[in-house]
Every structure is written in structure tokens, then in C-alpha cells.
Structure 1
């Protein structure tokens, strides 16, 4: 594989830093949450304990759910996929790219969304490292020969349909939340952030990639196979994280949309099925 020497150093560094960040986020802390009115007039509850001391209870519940998924799913996938990649496995490299996509997305959100804490530079390092390693892995694929490694039995229509459904759901869910802020006197649900950065990332990046991957896969284009493969792995880990976030928010009494709480686990389950089917149809 191209750039294997660089990956031998960079992937372990990502693993160690991610482990530090996830464990630190889950480490229990003492304190009593307290109510606060933001400068926009939104009533929130500050967590006031642990690494996420200055984040709201709702935000901390989401970040800790993501830390748990990163620890028990993301890091094992990173280690296994990297080991398989080093052995020349195409399945392993596809899994590695998708797992790096999950880590990249996670620590972009932590860099710009988490209230400043002692691990800020760790988040920045993970953002930077995972971005460049993700690019290195993506450019290592031979796009001309990639489609030949997939079985003709690959259910391209079902996979594309799932990608389109995920794009449509995210679009409707996030535009609905944004539109609610347009009403006269409405207070945007920002909690301790300055803008809807998650919605911006999803609408500006994730939704277009889902649509592009689905269209190109239906047309049997090389980028369609690559983006769909990487996307299914990335969305699987992210879907598990988002589903657990909803449950954890409900556990701590934070407001959560019942629709989102129900739809995300369904998408995650379908994503798991499609990811398994896709990997089984990789001939490598």
C-alpha cells in the first residue's frame, strides 16, 4: 500500500490520542449542575463536572455517549482495519478509511463544538492527523480497478437507497430545526455553542456526499463504490454514537426529539446490514 511508512506512525498516534480523549471524557467528576440563561435568552443547565465542566448537561451526555462508542467500537475497528490493511486486505483498507472518517468527524465537532477544556490541543491534533491520514488512505485506492473487486451481486440499488434516505432524513430534520428559529421572537436551540455547526457540517458535507455516492454507485462509477464503502462504515459508527446520544440525553432528562430517537437506530441497523453485505461482496 502507498504511504504505508507514514501510516505506521500516524495511525498508532491517532489511536493513542483518541484513547486519551475518550477515557478523559468518560472519567467521572464531582459537581452539581446549575441552570443558566444564555445571552440569547435560552435556558440551559451547565454540567459543572468532569472534563465537560462548562458544557451543558445535554451536550455532555452526547459527548460522553460518543466517547463510549469511540472506546468500545471505534478504536477496535481502527486497530483491526489497520492490521488488515497492513496485510494487503482491500476490505481492511475500506474499513480503515471509514473508521478514520468517523474519527475525523468526531474531533472536528469536538474542536469547534466542545467548550474549551484541557484537551483542546488533543482535539486539534486528532482533527489534523485524522484528516491527513484519511486523505492518504483515500488516494491509495486504484480507482480504475476498484469496481472489479466488487461482486456483480452487490445490491447497489439498496445501498444507494439507504444513502438517499439518510440524506433526506438529515435534510428534513436539520432544516426543521433551523426553520423553527425563524419565527418572531424564537430562541435558537444553541445551548453553549454560537451556531448550529453540526447542522452546517451535515447539510454542507454529509448530505451531498450521501447523494453523490448513491448516484455514482448506481452508475457503477469507481468513486461510487469507494464513497459508498467508506460512507457505510463511517455512518455505522456515527449512527451507533448518535443513537446512544439520544438514549443518554433521555437518561439525564435532556430534551430529545422522539422522531430522531426512533429513526437513527433504524438507519443504524439498516446501515449495519448493508455494510456487512457490501464487505461480503468485496473480492479481495
Structure 2
């Protein structure tokens, strides 16, 4: 988690600060960026609460989890969702963005279901590290994948919620893809086995998230 902490400190925190400042000036672009960043922070500290070995920072993880949860909910509620489609340029490449979201949903589904399927063999012992269950896989398959699918479909249909959910998903992939890439490299550095395929795909997902988020926000008419 050292690499994830670095991404939180040097990428997510500056994004949160800048986007909050823009939001206070009435910027829709800032609001979308802030909501997506809060989604990443929420995901991160759910992970730390339930996945990290117990340590003296536990109550700090719980506080950050709770604060980011309610901040995320309040941020989502702050948008006039019905007006969102009209606030985007007609040049927004909705099909490309939807395609990326569908790819992420498919990749996570195949990667995690494949890992879970390995436990179906009689006598198989799942690799759980210091946890009691596959909680990351549960979060991704139960929340992230459905959000990707829903936002892709709604965006293609020009539905208001599609624009909001897509912005959250894209910023999350920008930060999460970067974090997972650095985590993988850090694990390889200290000799922890990693999947080269997953590392390549997550790195590509992070890069695609950066490019697509820039394009998405550029097409917001503030």
C-alpha cells in the first residue's frame, strides 16, 4: 500500500484541493473532478479499513472512510442532474468513453471471476494474504463493474445520470490505474509475485483514464 499512499498524497490530494477550489467558484468541471476524486478516496479507505492489518492508524482509516463516504454522497446530490447533457459539447466522444467503461467492466469481471474460480477445486486454498475473504473482488464485482456497465449504457443513451456516473468512473480509473501500476512495480521491486497481464492492463487503464478524463472534462461547457 506504500505506492497507493503516494498516489493519494501526490495525486488525489492535489486533485481534491484544486477541484474543491474550482467547485467553490461554481465550476461544473471542478464539481465532476471533485466527485470522482472523492470516489477514489472512498474506495481507498474502505480498502484500508477492511484489508490492512490492524495497526495504530485504524481509527484514522475509519474517519477517512466515513468522511469520504458522506462527502461523496453530498457531492453527488449537489448536481442538477437533468441539465447535465446540455452542459456538454456535442463533440464529446460518448462511444469511446462508453467503450472504455465496458472494457474495464469486462476485464475486472474476467480477472476476478477467474481468480475466484480457482477456489472451486476441491482442497484449493485461496490466497487471502492478511484478510478473511476476497473483499476487493467483492467491491469491484458488486459496485465498480455495475457502475461501469450502467454509466456506459446511460451515456450512450444521452441520459443525465450517464454523464455523472461516467465522470466518477473515469477519474477513479485515472487514480486507481496509476495506483495499481505503482503498487505492482513496488511489489516486483521487493520480490512479491505479480501478474504481468494484470500489471500491463491496469497501467494501460490508468493511461487511458488520464487521456479520457482530460477529453471528458474539456468538453464540459462551464
The 4+ residue runs of structure 1 with deviation greater than 3 A are: none
How many residue pairs get aligned? The number is 222
2:189 is aligned with 1:251 = yes
2:77 is aligned with 1:139 = yes
- 1:261 Cα offset (Å): 1.0
Which of 208, 217, 229 aligns to 2:146? It is 208
Cα-to-partner distance string for 1:204-260 (whole Å, 9 max, x where unaligned): 000000000000000000000000011101111011001111111111111101110
- 2:23 equivalent in structure 1: 85
Distance of 1:185 and 1:132 partners within structure 2: 42
2:161 is aligned with 1:223 = yes
> CA contact under 8 A between 2:174 and 2:208: conserved in structure 1?
no
- 1:273 Cα offset (Å): 1.1
Distance of 1:183 and 1:95 partners within structure 2: 43
- 1:268 Cα offset (Å): 1.1
Unaligned runs of 5+ in 1: 1-62
In the TM superposition, 1:105-144 aligns within 5 A as 105-144=43-82
Distance of 1:79 and 1:270 partners within structure 2: 23
Cα-to-partner distance string for 1:158-208 (whole Å, 9 max, x where unaligned): 000000000000000001111111112211010111000000000000000
> CA contact under 8 A between 2:173 and 2:205: conserved in structure 1?
no
Distance of 1:192 and 1:82 partners within structure 2: 36
- 1:95 equivalent in structure 2: 33
How much is the aligned-residue C-alpha RMSD, in angstroms? Answer: 0.7
Distance of 2:188 and 2:177 partners within structure 1: 17
Larger relative contact order, structure 1 or 2 (CA cutoff 8 Å, min sep 6) = 2
Distance of 1:107 and 1:125 partners within structure 2: 9
Question: Which is higher, the Rg of structure 1 or of structure 2?
Answer: 1
Normalized per residue, the structure richer in helix is 2
- 1:148 equivalent in structure 2: 86
2:210 is aligned with 1:269 = no
- 2:112 equivalent in structure 1: 174
- 1:149 Cα offset (Å): 0.4
> CA contact under 8 A between 2:102 and 2:148: conserved in structure 1?
yes
Distance of 2:120 and 2:185 partners within structure 1: 28
Q: Could you tell me the TM-score, scaled by structure 2's length?
A: 0.99
> CA contact under 8 A between 2:105 and 2:144: conserved in structure 1?
yes
SS at match of 2:107: helix
